[in-house]
Chain A
């Protein structure tokens, strides 16, 4: 590991040479400057990690030099030194961005600790900054892939909203359309980008736990509250809070949420003091909230508060132009992740992808490409290993339309489960199972692997069922 480098700036030669020798013995590298001009030159040339800077220099004040460096975005940490410490100077230097102030005669133990802390703090800041940049890149605009005019118009609007002062934003769209990604794009393209982005799925926890998660709790607020806990509103202060599946929030929490949105204040569970926060709330829902309002399941005042700015993400079937670019993006992504170079996708695969209506939207497309990438043996991706439901779409109403018609129910990963009504006289589960196995074998033209995939079971499990039901494999 390279040594940390210190630039020592002092017009007193004995101070310079003594500090240089002292810190070199401590394992640092050190360079010296006797005036501001030399210091400025060495800062560029040597790129030190830290600077020990005297307040008084022959050609210019150290404070003016500090101000110039901070305005120029210099990242080296600066510790000021002076033989004439005045409180106003100390305050001004700290305000300008100096890490600390030490007085002369120098206390070497104090200086050693100050410098070590300063360098550690800077390292942590740089680490946090680079991690934030990484997250920002991952959640950035570039990750929203698509070429359709509707998506371009949408992204233009999203970026405008991100940079606005809007405190609440509602994102609607079917499951898998990318509401979570879009909320990150909004956060990382806003002035809140350097502050926290916090997300919670409102349907994932029971009401009492959601309340404690959102608003925090005081020690002893309930049986398991062994210690005080900060809630997500506190953690997201000055940043962004994503409330996913907002439609699932209970009426009690809807009222509490409305208060935070209106007054920016709330109380921890079991708390007696109001807390004030500055949080941008992004609410996301795959449900029709307007219908929820009409059916009295969702508060109208909260709905109107949330829907001041509404962004609707269209389903993938309504923006077919984005399917192929998205597929190509996922191929590149998994190619890198699985270290499996792939030239691209075959024209035949493009046709298949465009012929399917993607009820599970981008998430389903992503999962389908991932599966195909794992199994593909060719240099370009073919339709051979796509899920069977994609390559041989069932007859009848497709996608969400089919779901609405009650033909099938769509699962999280985009699979369609047939919906039947059991006759009042009852049925036989074994017969239904037998019928499904028969149907799968028929659709797969007797290919047991494909039939097993249609039923999402292993080939051995299918063979067992064929034997059990004494079914002759179709030729």
Chain B
């Protein structure tokens, strides 16, 4: 489950204000969808501030909410080792921290 470690690393970079993309966006199923949504979120964060910041941040928070919901369900339902489950928990926490960056002003 290398995608978990990759996602954790990517979240860390985003939170630090850096650029990040994940490589598992072409995979089928929820994991692939998760990758595509993460890359879309990263794209959105890199775009210059739009005139309607509130609208932009709302869209980004909505994307992040989708990613976090998918991570929550995957942690509960996917066949994972204890270590992977713990790492996924950390990814969730990092995702929630990123949420504070997605507010206008």
On A, residues with C-beta under 8 Å from B are 11-15, 17-19, 21-22, 25, 56, 83-84, 104-106, 108
Do the beta carbons of B70 and A83 come within 8 Å of each other? no
Q: Is B69 among interface residues, defined by CB-CB distance under 8 A?
A: yes
Return B75 CB to nearest CB of chain A, in Å.
Answer: 10
Return B86 CB to nearest CB of chain A, in Å.
Answer: 18
Cβ of A11: which chain B residues have Cβ within 8 Å of it? 62
Q: Is B99 among interface residues, defined by CB-CB distance under 8 A?
A: yes
Interface centre among A14, A17, A83, A105 (most CB of B within 10 A): A14
Q: Which of B12-20, B29-37, B44-52 is the interface stretch?
A: B29-37
Q: Is B101 among interface residues, defined by CB-CB distance under 8 A?
A: no
Per the bound structure, the CA–CA distance linking A12 and B67 in Å amounts to 9
Do the beta carbons of A106 and B69 come within 8 Å of each other? yes
23 A-B pairs within 8 Å (CB atoms) are namely A12-B62, A12-B63, A12-B66, A14-B33, A15-B62, A17-B70, A18-B69, A22-B72, A22-B73, A22-B76, A56-B58, A83-B62, A83-B65, A84-B54, A104-B61, A104-B65, A105-B65, A105-B96, A105-B99, A106-B65, A106-B68, A106-B69, A108-B69
11 additional contacts (CB under 8 A) given A17-B30, A83-B62, A105-B69:
A13-B33, A15-B65, A18-B70, A22-B72, A56-B62, A83-B65, A104-B62, A104-B65, A105-B64, A106-B65, A106-B68
Tally of A-B residue pairs with Cβ under 8 A?
A: 63
Cβ of B54: which chain A residues have Cβ within 8 Å of it? 84
Main SS of chain B's interface residues? helix
A18 and B62 in contact, given A105-B99, A108-B72 (Cβ under 8 angstroms): no
Q: Is B77 among interface residues, defined by CB-CB distance under 8 A?
A: yes
Closest to A16 in B: B66
Closest to A104 in B: B65
Closest to A84 in B: B58
Closest to B30 in A: A17
Closest to B54 in A: A84
Return A67 CB to nearest CB of chain B, in Å.
Answer: 21
Interface centre among B34, B67, B70, B95 (most CB of A within 10 A): B70
Do the beta carbons of A14 and B70 come within 8 Å of each other? yes
A18 and B63 in contact, given A56-B58, A83-B58, A105-B68 (Cβ under 8 angstroms): no
On B, residues with C-beta under 8 Å from A are 30, 33-34, 37, 54, 58, 61-70, 72-73, 76-77, 95-96, 99
Return B39 CB to nearest CB of chain A, in Å.
Answer: 13
Return A220 CB to nearest CB of chain B, in Å.
Answer: 53
Closest to A20 in B: B73
Closest to B64 in A: A105
Would you list the 10 A-B pairs with minimal beta carbon distance, nearest first? A14-B66, A104-B65, A18-B69, A12-B66, A83-B61, A105-B68, A18-B73, A14-B70, A83-B62, A15-B66
Per the bound structure, the CA–CA distance linking A22 and B99 in Å amounts to 22
Main SS of chain A's interface residues? helix
Per the bound structure, the CA–CA distance linking A56 and B61 in Å amounts to 12
Cβ of B37: which chain A residues have Cβ within 8 Å of it? 13-14
Per the bound structure, the CA–CA distance linking A83 and B95 in Å amounts to 14
Cβ of A56: which chain B residues have Cβ within 8 Å of it? 58, 62
Per the bound structure, the CA–CA distance linking A21 and B33 in Å amounts to 15
Cβ of A18: which chain B residues have Cβ within 8 Å of it? 30, 66, 69-70, 72-73
Closest to B92 in A: A105
Per the bound structure, the CA–CA distance linking A11 and B58 in Å amounts to 13
Contact of B61 among A14, A19, A25, A84 (CB under 8 A): A84
Per the bound structure, the CA–CA distance linking A441 and B76 in Å amounts to 87
Closest to A12 in B: B66
Return A33 CB to nearest CB of chain B, in Å.
Answer: 15
Do the beta carbons of A19 and B69 come within 8 Å of each other? yes
Cβ of A15: which chain B residues have Cβ within 8 Å of it? 62, 65-66, 69
Cβ of A17: which chain B residues have Cβ within 8 Å of it? 30, 33, 70
Per the bound structure, the CA–CA distance linking A17 and B28 in Å amounts to 14
Interface centre among A11, A21, A56 (most CB of B within 10 A): A21
Cβ of A12: which chain B residues have Cβ within 8 Å of it? 62-63, 65-66
Return A463 CB to nearest CB of chain B, in Å.
Answer: 81
Cβ of A106: which chain B residues have Cβ within 8 Å of it? 65, 68-69, 72
Do the beta carbons of B34 and A14 come within 8 Å of each other? yes
Per the bound structure, the CA–CA distance linking A105 and B41 in Å amounts to 14
Cβ of A14: which chain B residues have Cβ within 8 Å of it? 30, 33-34, 37, 66-67, 69-70
Per the bound structure, the CA–CA distance linking A21 and B76 in Å amounts to 11
Closest to A81 in B: B65
Cβ of A83: which chain B residues have Cβ within 8 Å of it? 58, 61-62, 65
Return B62 CB to nearest CB of chain A, in Å.
Answer: 5
Return B61 CB to nearest CB of chain A, in Å.
Answer: 4
Per the bound structure, the CA–CA distance linking A105 and B93 in Å amounts to 11
Return A11 CB to nearest CB of chain B, in Å.
Answer: 8
Cβ of A108: which chain B residues have Cβ within 8 Å of it? 69, 72
Cβ of B62: which chain A residues have Cβ within 8 Å of it? 11-12, 15, 56, 83, 104
Cβ of B68: which chain A residues have Cβ within 8 Å of it? 105-106
Cβ of B96: which chain A residues have Cβ within 8 Å of it? 105
Closest to A17 in B: B30
Closest to B37 in A: A14
Per the bound structure, the CA–CA distance linking A373 and B67 in Å amounts to 71
Return B66 CB to nearest CB of chain A, in Å.
Answer: 3
